[in-house]
Structures are given as structure tokens and as C-alpha cells.
Copies of this chain bind each other. A is one copy, B any other.
Amino acid sequence: MKAKSAAMLPADFRSTFLDGLTSREIETVVKAAEQEPISPHQILQQEGARADRLWLLVTGRVAVYRLAQDGDKVFLRWGVPGDTFGLATVLKRPERYVVTIEAVQEGSLLSWDLAASQALVLRCPNMDKALNAVVADYLDNLIDVLGAYAFQPAEQRLARVLLESARQLGRSGTGGIELDLTNEQLAVAAHMTVFTATRKLSKWQSMGILTKRRGKIVLPSLSRFENDWKGTAN
């Protein structure tokens, strides 16, 4: 299905990638895209496979991870509307995906196949810069993850994951910011077992700095949670 115009994007749509282009270029780019719905558990790209499309998440949520040699998933980040993936398609040779991406919510994406994306790079002088910005952002983000998550105790990792996730996926509802995440999803994102995650979360709940129902977490507020948590001397 060919996308007819930029009008198909939500009004408040923000994307690092598109922001790097002129509005005329955005028009061109969006017109060349195919739109496609996605559903939970669908694998959108697989590391090692030939990178044959560049794509942009329009709605929904995806998980970006890498497969360890022993087969389990090393979570890297969430993908939210506006995020661009499959950059290997245009900037690596041989073009192979380096990460695996799986949808975790209903949603939709815009995509460009190999030929189309390479043509766009030639046609739009700002494409290189726009891609640069996207890659640089990912790099920054990963350095943060490595520096701040990877070599810190489980509790701090979990707290950070909660904050980041709340920022990206939180809906504000009665009593604070609601997050649709199961203990297991949090555990994966914070790189720990479900058991450890449960214990920390329970502890926090009994301290009154968050509340939780099955499959849902509610933080009073971002700054509130951050302060409360730091105040508990770990």
C-alpha cells in the first residue's frame, strides 16, 4: 500500500530522522513509503539477515534486542513512534541487520525497500545528515546504557528502566503515570530475573513510592519517584 501524503502521519508526530529533512524532502520520502500494520510478537527484522528495508515506526511499540550465542535476548532499548530502524540498509556494506526487533504492541510502520531507500539517499541531499543524527542518537543512548545500567547493581538498573520507560511509554492517569509493563518485561529490560524485579518492586510498593496492579505500574510522578527512591539509601 503506497502512502499518499504526509497527512497520514499523526499531527504531533516527531521523528529525529524526518526532522533532519526539509519539508519538501519529507514529502518525497513519505510518498515513496509503504505502510504496514504490525502486531505483538511479530519479528520486524532479524540480526544477520540481509538488510532490505529502512523503516520508521508510526504507532505502537517495539523491542530492540540482540541474541547472545546461548540464545537468550539481550535487551537494548524500546522503540517508540518516530524511531527509525533498518539503517544498515543504507549505511552498511554488506547490508545486514545488526539487531533483532520485535513488535510488542499493535501499531504501524512506514518502510522503504532497498532500492527505494538508496534512491532517496541520492535524491535528498540531507539524507546523510539526517541518518547521521539518528545514528549519533543511538550511539549516545547506548553509551548511556553501558555506562549507567550495565555495571550498576540491579536495583539502580531497575529504577532507571522505570524512569526511562515512564518517559517513553507512560500515560498520565489517575494517581500518576501509568505504565503497561509486566514484571517480566521490566526484568528483561533491566537485565535481571523476574524474581529480583518482583522483590524490588514489592519493596518500593510497601514503601509507598509506587503502586502496581497485574501488568501495570503507577508512579506518582517522575521526579517524585526519582527523589523518593534516592532518599531510601538504596
Contacts and interface: CB of A to CB of B under 8 A. Distances in A.
Interface in A29-67: 66
A91 B151 contact: no
A138 to B, nearest CB: 6
Interface string A117-133: 00000000000110111
B138 A139 contact: yes
A216 to B, nearest CB: 27
A151 B74 contact: yes
Contacts of A76: 143, 146
B133 A132 contact: no
Q: Point out which of A91, A138, A140, A143 has the most chain B C-beta atoms below 10 A from its C-beta.
A: A143
A129 to B, nearest CB: 6
B135 A136 contact: yes
Given A131-B132, A132-B131, A151-B191, A146 B98 contact: no
A140 B135 CA distance: 11
Contacts of A98: 139-140, 143
A146 B142 contact: yes
A194 interface: no
B140 A142 contact: no
A66 B151 contact: no
A147 interface: yes
A114 interface: no
Contacts of A233: none
Contacts of A148: 68
A96 to B, nearest CB: 10
Given A66-B147, A68-B147, A74-B151, A135 B139 contact: yes
30 contacts: A66-B143, A66-B146, A66-B147, A68-B147, A68-B148, A68-B151, A68-B152, A74-B146, A74-B147, A74-B150, A74-B151, A76-B146, A87-B136, A91-B133, A92-B136, A98-B140, A99-B143, A128-B128, A128-B129, A131-B132, A132-B135, A135-B135, A138-B139, A142-B143, A142-B146, A146-B146, A146-B150, A150-B150, A150-B151, A151-B191
